[in-house]
Amino acid sequence: MLVIPAIDLKDGQCVRLRQGKMNESTVFSDSPLDMAGHWVEQGAKRLHVVDLDGAFSGNLVNSEIVASIVKSFPDLQVQIGGGIRNLESIKFYLGAGARFVIIGTAALNDPDFVAEACQIYPGKIIVGLDTVNGKVATEGWAEVSETSPIEVVNKFSEFGVQAIVYTDISRDGMMKGCNIEATVELARQSSIPIIASGGIAKLADIVDLKAATKTEVGANIIGAITGRAIYEGKLDLMAAQKYCNREASC
């Protein structure tokens, strides 16, 4: 299981939100490129990047910053989301060297777009599922649908989606721990690998998530995204990844 640091981009800065609210952001760096380098030095193999401005506007707002990160760290697996609503956006990011592209709002609104993207770019498409009280949220977390996460997963199970990033918005940025029960249950029902996101605050959360994947048959969780915890020093990225590596070899 990969421990994946997150870089959220807002107004060209590296920020973290609380519960997906744009007016509750904390700036952690004026240089997302330097921050990416820091996480690489700490042993990151994959980086989760979200263009928050893009997610709310539906356009690629911070794309040049993403391109600079990818260019500077070619061995880093960058997965990028936020504002990706068409094939041109996917082409841009993958052409720039991003390893994966995350489709969120457009996946729920237009499943055929996901199917087409998976066909044109096999193995490169991740679907982002952001939830509030067990329902999928869209438009940069601003709108909540009546759709459950497993309904969305079932739609995409035959498309060739590489993974699902599952975020419980109520936990995101709140340092209260990951919603392990819901994450593991989705992973158990899904034929698509799951990347957990939202609320991971300390090493114990990684330990609990890893333990749950071992005990629950069929729970295929391949990564855990962490943001505020590593920025505030509550979680040591290198130590967390070393723990996961040790457990994988047991």
pLDDT at residue number 24: 61
The tens digit of pLDDT for each residue in 158-179 reads 899 999 999 887 655 455 667 8
Average pLDDT, whole number, for the chain?
87
The tens digit of pLDDT for each residue in 7-21 reads 999 999 988 776 556
Catalytic machinery residues = 8, 130
pLDDT at residue number 23: 59
pLDDT at residue number 142: 53
* Among 175, 213, 211, residue whose Cα is nearest residue 195: 213
pLDDT at residue number 181: 87
* Among 245, 243, 222, residue whose Cα is nearest residue 4: 222
Residue with tokens 């989301």: 81
Evaluate whether 126 touches 100 at the Cβ level (below 8 Å).
yes
Residue 153 has pLDDT above 90, yes or no: no
pLDDT at residue number 140: 47
Q: What is the dihedral of CA 244, 197, 32, 175, to 10 degrees?
A: -90
205 CB contacts (<8 Å, ≥6 apart)?
177, 178, 180, 199, 224, 235
Residue 250 has pLDDT above 50, yes or no: no
The tens digit of pLDDT for each residue in 88-147 reads 999 999 999 999 999 988 888 899 999 999 999 999 999 998 887 777 776 544 566 567
Residue 28 has pLDDT above 90, yes or no: no
Evaluate whether 43 touches 2 at the Cβ level (below 8 Å).
no
Kindly indicate the confidence band of residue 36, based on its pLDDT and cuts at 50, 70 and 90.
very high
Evaluate whether 127 touches 103 at the Cβ level (below 8 Å).
yes
Query: 63-72 vs 87-96: helix axis angle to the nearest 10?
Result: 30
**pTM of the predicted structure, to 2 decimals:** 0.90
Most confident of 2-6, 212-216, 244-248: 2-6
Residue 51 has pLDDT above 90, yes or no: yes
31 CB contacts (<8 Å, ≥6 apart)?
14
